[in-house]
Amino acid sequence: MAQHDQAYNQYNQGNYQYNQQANQQVHQQLPLPTSAKLWVKIHSCKDLQWADYRSGASDPYVTLKVADGSLTHPDISTRIIPVNLNPIFEEEFLFPFTTVNGAITVNLSVWDYDRLKKPDPLGNASFKVDANAPANYLELPLSMKGTIQLQYHLYYTNLAPISEGNKYEVFQHSLVNLLREGYSKGGEGFLVYQVKMHKVPHHFGEKKHDWNKNYSAAQKIFTSAVVSNSIKAQHKALYSSIEATIKGELRSGDDFLRLVKYGVIGAKKRYFTYSLMEDVWNFCETGKEYTKDFTSKHAMHASVSESVRYAGEFHIFERNGRHTLVLDNNSGTYAPSFESLPLLKSLFEANFPGLDIVALNQGTDEFKAYQKVVLDNNAKIDLLLNESKQDEDQQTQ
């Protein structure tokens, strides 16, 4: 078993290096700046054919071959998932193109790894991506047995660069019923942010998300003039400069991180609720302590708009000194589609250069695992704060 594990690790490490070299090779072949990129995410396979009669399973991995009329990318592979007929990969690949000459063809092959002989085929699938194709999620049947689940998005990078920064306003409120420990100690009050976003239509096209008619809380908002007007009044009160207002301009991803203090309030990393509109991004910290009187936080940020470009929550994750903006689609009011997450990611990458960005689909295992990591980290901080407070109390006695 140890030999098998070593073989898997060696293959996966070598495969990663090969993928990196293949990407460099393609970039060297392209004579002009790339004008389009195809993003493909291999999620998983289900009910694969077994190849090892001893285990009754396989050691699957997926190979991608991507080409259009003028360029064929070198084959790129996922890592191996040992002894599994329902492997979960969750791996992303980016394929650049100078121009898109006709439809792009993506050929997928699933293989069973064998360290002593050639890999055994487990099935093939393919699909085409047209030049104007929207982001999409596919579950394709494999030629032998089972299916493969993936997501793709073709987006264009030849848009004129964003030359101006993102203007912002931070509205500070000291309303008694909105105060919480993290704010009151800092003396800042409750903060609501509005950031100007550039080229939203360029990234989202005509895509908008209407309010969720299957969500009971949303029904109460959009079918009741009383409730709707109440939330609109909340929006007007919070996004107003009656009290102190901070104004400025963001020129980079680091500027954004500093604006939200790296997501830390009251010594802990916090979640923020947001609604992305036609040209602004509205958000504030998420927290049941002070939002219990809001029928819907997303509807409040959108001023009860019938539709938004996107909505959800975000969080600033830190690992080894590197900060990542983690965006999701966790909004019952607007229920934005996970197929549009790549559009959201590309928009934020364009607006906040240099910022590391991850987009997660709410409800998935990946999303739940991330939430658990955040909760565990905050629980450790709570423990340290409580211990520190106990030490202070003992010293004053």
Q: Could you identify the residue written with the tokens 């140890």?
A: 2
Alpha helix locations (H) across 114-199? 181-186
Whole-angstrom Cα distance, residue 304 to residue 277?
A: 11
Q: Domain 2-156 sits in which CATH superfamily?
A: C2 domain (2.60.40.150)
Tens digits of pLDDT across the chain (397 residues): 444 555 555 555 555 454 455 444 444 443 334 467 788 999 999 999 998 877 788 999 999 999 886 677 888 999 999 999 999 998 988 888 766 667 889 999 999 998 788 999 999 999 998 876 666 889 999 999 999 999 888 876 655 556 688 999 999 876 534 444 444 444 556 789 999 999 898 788 788 999 999 999 999 999 999 999 999 998 998 898 766 689 999 999 999 999 999 988 877 788 999 999 999 999 998 864 444 445 578 999 999 999 999 999 999 988 777 899 999 999 999 999 888 888 899 899 889 988 999 999 998 888 888 888 888 776 765 565 555 555 555 555 5
Whole-angstrom Cα distance, residue 44 to residue 88?
A: 4
The residues spanned by each domain of the chain are 2-156, 166-362
Is residue 313 packed enough to be buried (19+ CB in 10 Å), middle (13-18) or exposed (0-12)?
buried
C-beta atoms surrounding 253 within 10 Å: 19
Nearest to residue 279, comparing CAs of 199, 334, 352, 340?
Answer: 199
**pTM of whole model > 0.75?**
no
Average pLDDT, rounded, for the chain: 81
Q: Which two tokens stand for residue 41?
A: 């995410």
Cβ 274 vs Cβ 301: under 8 Å: yes
SS3 content of the chain, % helix, strand, coil (to 5): 30, 35, 35
Give 122's contacts (C-beta < 8 A, 6+ positions apart): 48, 49, 51, 58, 60, 110, 111, 112, 142, 144, 145, 146
